[in-house]
């Protein structure tokens, strides 16, 4: 039986510590024994947690968090992008079953600061720690990872961003939304997002959504994808303004040299997201091959 989201979130705390150790010791190429000793676990326990959390072996998962993997993924994604453009397509085919649709708020709605809008919110576990999720009848308007110490301040910031809206705490629906995002089944419904941003930001966010899981792009390639090849700095600013983590996958954008750049929810979490998605794709492909 697959672990619950709460179990995966607890496991992520240990995985995050392992990733942090790897990121801080890249030249030593630490072994499983080294990593386990650093975070106070046995090799057996670390192997078990990694395999349960990521679905693949620790050794393979750790390959996904290296700079060399990031460089290879950049080259692969660039090839896919070039191929799709040559074929007259806007983006390569999606590699997963989670369908996301978006609706943008009108300038008048943005100016109204949420007046007449009812926003429900709650915190829920995810495989990457707890997340604050907020939504309206039109879709999810906020998803941000939080730690225990930042949850209250995250709620305060959420309300400040929509000062004229009414807020209702709805923990049960937040838990359900988290399951819909992370536990895909044939009956998983499409997820709707309600976006609030400038036309430029919306174009960048739409380009982000078109990046398939397991792929990464550089800022410059994302600019080409969004039709704004010379706006790298502005694109970086638009990415930083994204308030819907994962579903608008700004974690899939890294530097041209393969470095995992800054992430508002933590560079180690960004590294884990990229590696976890690559692991899910590999697990899916392995399962398909075994069934043929």
Q: Could you list the active site residues?
A: 250
162: how many CB neighbours lie within 10 A of its CB? 20
Q: Is 19 helix (H, G, I), strand (E, B) or coil?
A: helix
Instruction: State how far the alpha carbon of 291 is from the alpha carbons of 86, 175, 186, in Å.
Output: 33, 33, 18
> Using CA atoms, how far apart are residues 257 and 233, in angstroms rounded to an integer?
16
Strand duo 191-195 + 129-136: pairing: unpaired
CB 254 within 8 A of CB 211: no
The beta-strand segments (E) located in the chain are 100-104, 118-126, 129-136, 139-145, 166-169, 191-195, 217-218, 253-254
Instruction: State how far the alpha carbon of 206 is from the alpha carbons of 107, 213, 242, in Å.
Output: 18, 15, 11
> Using CA atoms, how far apart are residues 208 and 251, in angstroms rounded to an integer?
9
The three-state DSSP-derived secondary structure of 111-164 is HCCCCCCEEEEEEEEEECEEEEEEEECCEEEEEEECCCCCHHHHHHHHHHHCCC
Which residue, 224, 206, 215, is CA-closest to 282?
215
């Amino acid at each position: 039986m697959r672990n619950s989201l709460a179990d995966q979130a607890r496991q992520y705390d240990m995985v995050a510590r392992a990733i942090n150790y790897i990121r801080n010791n890249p030249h030593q190429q630490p072994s499983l024994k080294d990593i386990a000793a650093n975070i106070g676990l046995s090799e057996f326990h670390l192997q078990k947690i990694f395999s349960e959390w990521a679905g693949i072996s620790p050794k393979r998962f750790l390959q996904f968090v290296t700079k060399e993997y990031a460089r290879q993924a950049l080259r692969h994604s660039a090839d896919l992008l070039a191929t799709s453009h040559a074929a007259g397509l806007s983006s390569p085919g999606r590699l997963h079953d989670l369908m996301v649709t978006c609706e943008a708020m009108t300038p008048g709605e943005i100016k109204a600061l949420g007046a007449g809008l009812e926003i429900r919110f709650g915190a829920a576990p995810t495989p990457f720690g707890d997340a604050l999720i907020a939504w309206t009848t039109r879709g999810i308007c906020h998803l941000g990872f939080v730690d225990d110490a930042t949850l209250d301040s995250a709620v305060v910031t959420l309300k400040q961003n929509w000062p004229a809206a009414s807020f209702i705490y709805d923990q049960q629906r937040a838990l359900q939304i988290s399951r819909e995002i992370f536990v895909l089944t044939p009956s998983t419904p499409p997820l709707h997002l309600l976006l609030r941003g400038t036309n430029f930001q919306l174009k960048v966010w739409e380009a982000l959504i078109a990046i398939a899981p397991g792929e990464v792009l550089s800022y410059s390639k994302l600019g080409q994808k969004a039709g704004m090849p010379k706006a790298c700095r502005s694109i970086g600013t638009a990415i930083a303004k994204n308030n819907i983590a994962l579903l608008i996958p700004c974690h899939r954008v890294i530097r041209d040299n393969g470095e995992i750049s800054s992430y508002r929810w933590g560079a180690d979490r960004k590294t884990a997201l990229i590696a976890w998605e690559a692991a899910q794709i590999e697990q899916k492909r392995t399962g398909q091959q075994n069934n043929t």
